[in-house]
Amino acid sequence: MSRSLVLAIETSCDETAVALVRAPREIAASEIASQIDLHQRFGGVVPELASRNHLPRIRPLIAAALQQSGCAIGEVDCIAATRGPGLLTALLVGHSAAKGIALALGKPFIGVNHLEGHLLSPFLGSDTCPSQSVGLIVSGGHTSLVRLDEVGSYFLLGRTLDDAAGEAFDKVAKLLGLPYPGGPEVDRLALKGDPKRFDLPRSMLNSGDFNFSFSGLKTAVRYLLPKIGGDYRADLCASFQEAVVEVLVRKTVGAAKYCDVSLITVSGGVSANSRLRSKMTDAASAAGMQLKLTPPSLTTDNAAMIAYAGLERFLKGLHSDITEEADPNLKLV
Ligand code: KG4
Ligand code: ZN
């Protein structure tokens, strides 16, 4: 029997992406057209600009992905697209295109939650299927701890009460005059800095729950800036990053212990962070837990993770209705 093949489109923010994933967890093609250059001069994503620029990119990307995979569109078993959360006008482009293709081909359509894409991405390309675990989803828009029982069955353990961790990285980078997106810049500068030089708050570290708060940390950096002089940027990046990473690591390992699971996963744009990867690796090993980090090429937004989540749903018969609408506030749980 041939292995199921899913084509997916992701346009929830400023990345236009198309990918093909084949059962059980193999990436057959993954194409991403970044719009970072267009949004960089505004210091963040401009929704209208993002959606307008998705439109001309979709068809060439589908053609490129099919060519890369060596497959014909007729071989695809199901068409998936990100349904939400994200920017509505951006989501509409990929979601509508996918529904149109599914209708034209007479194939099932599956609308995928972007966060489910991130959550399952540590398993993509690996030799194990999703199993009982606690997942930290940490990106520009979200910071959540989720217990995964099986694909489609999730329980929210905690989330940020204000800024997402990636948002804090981006805002602190902006305060320091670093380009957008700031996360990778802070990570790079922090490598040369002293994480102990500035004592920054670890908000909610001992709150007794699995929620997060990062806006106080960002404000602490803002108030600190006028008081320091000299060459401080690397030390400040390292100290800020250390505060974020310590809270993320402690809460994630604590949540896994609380749920009595021995597998931790980390996904989303901020999971590319080098300090988070090394500290989480140390902490998981000290706690005797297994850790699955998202492969570096899949941490930021991509369509392979959407195709994979779509594939898992397709295999369970969880098709979406073709009249389904994109939802900018779609919840995972
Ligand atoms: O998952 P993603 O591509 O988009 C969302 O769904 O939000 O995540 C983007 C976020 C941005 O805030 C970016 O600054 C952050 O991920 N990011 C990083 C790193 N690489 C990307 N943050 C810290 N360290 C990094 N190396
Ligand atoms: Zn994302």
**Per-residue confidence of the chain (333 residues) as pLDDT tens digits?**
579 999 999 999 989 999 999 999 999 999 999 888 887 888 778 888 888 889 999 999 999 999 999 999 999 999 999 999 999 999 999 999 999 999 999 999 999 999 999 999 999 999 999 999 999 999 999 999 999 999 999 999 999 999 999 999 999 999 999 988 899 999 999 999 999 999 999 999 999 999 999 999 999 999 999 999 888 999 999 999 999 999 999 999 999 999 999 999 999 999 999 999 999 999 999 999 999 999 999 999 999 999 999 999 999 999 999 999 999 999 998
Do 289 and 211 sit in the same domain of this protein? yes
What is the residue range of 50's domain? 5-125+298-315
Do 46 and 111 sit in the same domain of this protein? yes
Q: Is residue 329 part of a domain?
A: no
Q: Please report how the helices 165-175 and 182-190 are oriented relative to each other, as an axis angle in degrees rounded to 10.
A: 70
Site to probe by mutation for ligand 1, drawn from 13, 138, 270, 293 as the one with most ligand atoms within 8 Å of Cβ, is: 270
Q: Is residue 12 part of a domain?
A: yes
pLDDT for res 50: 83
Which residues, including other chains, have CB under 8 Å from residue 112's CB and lie 6 or more apart?
Answer: 8, 80, 81, 82, 83, 306, 309, 310, 313
Q: Give me ligand 2 centre to Cα 227, in Å.
A: 35
Do 156 and 237 sit in the same domain of this protein? yes
CATH code of residue 113: 3.30.420.40
pLDDT for res 85: 97
Do 36 and 168 sit in the same domain of this protein? no
Whose CA is closest to atom 20 on ligand 1? 184
117 CB within 6 A, ligand 1: no
Q: Is residue 237 part of a domain?
A: yes
pLDDT for res 51: 86
Q: Output the average pLDDT for the chain.
A: 95
> How does strand 109-113 pair with strand 78-84?
parallel
Ligand 1 atom with minimal separation from the 164 CA: 12
Q: Give me ligand 2 centre to Cα 99, in Å.
A: 21
- Helix/strand/coil for 300: coil
Q: Give me ligand 2 centre to Cα 322, in Å.
A: 24
Q: Is residue 282 part of a domain?
A: yes
Identify which of 138, 129, 97, 104 has the alpha carbon closest to the alpha carbon of residue 251: 138
Whose CA is closest to atom 11 on ligand 1? 140
Do 137 and 116 sit in the same domain of this protein? no
Do 121 and 140 sit in the same domain of this protein? no
Do 146 and 287 sit in the same domain of this protein? yes
CA distances from 309 to 8, 97, 129 (A): 10, 18, 12
140 CB within 6 A, ligand 1: yes
CB 84 within 8 A of CB 114: yes
pLDDT for res 306: 98
pLDDT for res 1: 58
248 CB within 6 A, ligand 1: no
Q: Is residue 328 part of a domain?
A: no
Paired tokens of 178: 């670093």
- Helix/strand/coil for 185: helix
Q: Please report how the helices 182-190 and 274-286 are oriented relative to each other, as an axis angle in degrees rounded to 10.
A: 70
pLDDT for res 185: 97
How far is it, in rounded angstroms, from Cα 36 to Cα 44? 9
Do 287 and 306 sit in the same domain of this protein? no
pLDDT for res 39: 79
Q: Is residue 331 part of a domain?
A: no
Residue 112's φ and ψ, nearest 5 degrees, are -115, 140
Whose CA is closest to atom 24 on ligand 1? 273
86 CB within 6 A, ligand 1: no
Do 58 and 114 sit in the same domain of this protein? yes
Whose CA is closest to atom 21 on ligand 1? 269
Question: Could you give the number of structural domains in the chain?
Answer: 2
CB 86 within 8 A of CB 114: yes
241 CB within 6 A, ligand 1: no
Q: Which ligand is nearest to the CA of 267?
A: 1
Q: Which ligand is nearest to the CA of 276?
A: 1
**Considering Cα of 325, then 328, then 332, then 333, what sign does the dihedral take?**
negative
Q: Which ligand is nearest to the CA of 142?
A: 1
**Considering Cα of 327, then 11, then 28, then 102, what sign does the dihedral take?**
positive
H helices within 70-210, ranges in order? Answer: 88-105, 114-120, 165-175, 182-190
Q: Give me ligand 2 centre to Cα 141, in Å.
A: 7
Do 71 and 145 sit in the same domain of this protein? no
Q: How many CA atoms lie within 13 A of 90 on its CB side?
A: 23
Do 54 and 137 sit in the same domain of this protein? no
